[in-house]
Amino acid sequence: MNLQTIKSMNGKIEYVLLPIATYHALHDEISKQLKNYRPTEDYEAFDPTDYVENPVALARIQASMTQEELAKRMNVTQAYISKLERQTKITAKIIQKVTNALK
């Protein structure tokens, strides 16, 4: 099977295009294996609070929501959510609006 690849500007392969049937087969198999996965003692669970400082981004990630979904709930654009998530200071008013949208 020939697969189409997409390279980055430096020539490194970044993406592989798969037939949809292959994608579904791989996705189903990976999901099945992950469902049965039991972490070992040296496994440390991913905690977004260790990596994400912005409270808007953190709340959105913890709610398993995309920027687009949050934007729809807040009646704003995805670009606005992205801008909020890049800011270092967030007002209490914005935090309240985000909290209400995530409920």
H-helix or E-strand spanning residue 13: strand 13-17
Q: What pLDDT score was predicted for residue 87?
A: 95
Q: Where are the domains of the chain?
A: 4-35, 48-102
Q: What pLDDT score was predicted for residue 64?
A: 92
Q: Which residues pair with 17 in a beta bridge?
A: 4
As a whole number, mean pLDDT of residues 83-97 equals 96
Token pair recorded at residue 90: 């967030």
Query: Residue 45: is its pLDDT beyond 90?
Result: no
**pLDDT band at 12; cut points 50, 70, 90:** very high
- Residue 4's SS3 state is strand
φ, ψ of residue 6 in degrees (nearest 5): -120, 125
Contact 48, 61 (CB under 8 A): yes
As a whole number, mean pLDDT of residues 8-17 equals 92
Listed in sequence order, the DSSP H helices in the chain are 20-35, 55-62, 67-74, 78-86, 92-102
Q: Which CATH architecture has domain 48-102?
A: Orthogonal Bundle (1.10)
Q: What pLDDT score was predicted for residue 82?
A: 97
Instruction: Please classify residue 55 by burial: count the beta carbons closer than 10 Å to its beta carbon, then call 0-12 exposed, 13-18 middle and 19+ buried.
Output: middle
